[in-house]
Each structure stands twice: as C-alpha cells, then as structure tokens.
Amino acid sequence: MTDPVGDAKRVLRKELRSRRRAMTESEGVSATEALTTHLVGLASELGVSSMAAYLSAINEPNTRPFLNWANEQGIRVLFPITRADGLLDWAVSTDFESETEGLFGLPEPVGEILSPMAINDVDLIIVPAAQIDHSGMRMGWGKGYFDKTLGSMARRPPVYAVVFDSEYVESVPSERHDQPVDGVVTPLAVHRF
C-alpha cells in the first residue's frame, strides 16, 4: 500500500537537506545574525525565564548564539535527549562546549538528564523544522519526537519553529499526528499564527 503524503515528505526532506548543504558561508552567517536578533527579541518580549530549545547541527539554522545569550541572561534552557522509545528526555546544560552525539547523530548536551515531563514547566519551546506553512503546520524531519511531545502536553507554552526564509511556505504535506506551532522565526521576521 502506498503512502502518498509520507512519500511526498521524504522527497521534500531530501530536497531541503540538499538546499541547506548548498548554502554559502556568508549566507549562513547573515542568517545566523538575523535569527539571533529575532529569537532574542521573542524571548525578551515573552519574558522567558525557562525554555526548551535544541542544539543546532551543521546545515540547520544556527541557534547557538541565541542559546549563548540565553545562558548569559540566566534563562534556564532544557535540551532534548532522544530515546529509543520515541520519547524525549531533557537535559539542562550550562556548558555548551560539552556535547555528545545523540541517537540519530544530532548534537545533544552533556548534563543532568530529566524526564519527559520536565518540559511542562517552560515558558517557550523552540523546535527545529524542515518547513512551516502559513497556517503554522510544521513538517519535521520524520522521526516524530517533537510531534509526540507537543501532542502530549496538557498545557503548551508558545511553540516557535526556526527555519530559513525559503522554508516558510504556502503549505506543507501533513498527517493526523503532525503538530502545528504558534509561530516561526526566519531570518526575515517572526511570524505568529
């Protein structure tokens, strides 16, 4: 039996990975500076004292300068730790120099491991994405970790995805389990839904 939505997502993810690898260094630096400005503005506007975010990998929109700013401001940051059962544990790290490779080769912090419930106490959640559409639907990278986490929360704080400008699109292929976000941060702007 074919899965047309799943197939469309797989093809699109492959294309997006290729586009991200093709970005020049100067495009990456420019995008990082703009994203950092927007993320700092968002966290400041919301009065965030605790948030969940991710350590960006190579070719992802770079969140690390923003995370350094958050650490300097005394904002408590929880980072996802992938588990084999499809859930996320969380870690608090104040040493962004120490990281390890997670289950899927993505960077994860070294720090105290907290349960999946730890995310329930944050003021803001920053998630990675492959694309976001104009209605706020998020297409992730296919493992479902953030969809499961966001879908299981009784009280969700604002959730913002971070993507490059070309990845904020009219529509994305979606399935029943896909979770929307409250906003998206791109180098050009912060868009709220």
Q: How many domains, in total, are found in the chain?
A: 1
pLDDT digits (tens, 9 = 90+) for 56-92: 988 999 999 999 999 999 999 999 988 888 888 999 8
CA 51, CA 77: separation in Å to the nearest integer? 5
pLDDT computed for residue 161 by the predictor = 97
50-52, strands of its sheet edge to edge: 112-114, 88-92, 76-82, 50-52, 124-128, 159-162, 183-185, 190-192
Q: State the average pLDDT over residues 185-193.
A: 97
Q: Report the number of secondary-structure helices (H) and strands (E) in the chain.
A: 4, 13
The CATH code of the domain that includes 150 is 3.40.50.10420
Q: State the average pLDDT over residues 46-52.
A: 96
pLDDT computed for residue 136 by the predictor = 95
Which residue, among 54, 56, 59, 52, has the nearest Cα to 13 in the 3D structure?
Answer: 59
Question: Three-state DSSP class for 20?
Answer: helix
Question: Three-state DSSP class for 138?
Answer: strand
Is the pLDDT at 20 greater than 70? The verdict is: yes
CA angle in degrees (0–180, nearest 5) for 22-24-27: 120
Cα dihedral 86, 128, 7, 106 sign: negative
Which residue, among 4, 2, 67, has the nearest Cα to 40 in the 3D structure?
Answer: 67
pLDDT computed for residue 173 by the predictor = 83
Number of CB atoms found within 10 A of residue 101's CB? 10
pLDDT computed for residue 54 by the predictor = 92
pLDDT computed for residue 102 by the predictor = 67
The whole model's pTM is what? 0.90
CA 74, CA 116: separation in Å to the nearest integer? 22
Percentage of residues in the chain having pLDDT higher than 70:
93
Domain membership of residue 171 as a residue range: 4-192
Q: State the average pLDDT over residues 20-49.
A: 96
Q: Read off the pLDDT band of 94 (50, 70, 90).
A: low
Is the pLDDT at 188 greater than 90? The verdict is: yes
Average pLDDT, the chain: 89
pLDDT digits (tens, 9 = 90+) for 105-155: 677 777 788 888 889 989 999 999 999 999 999 988 877 788 889 888 888
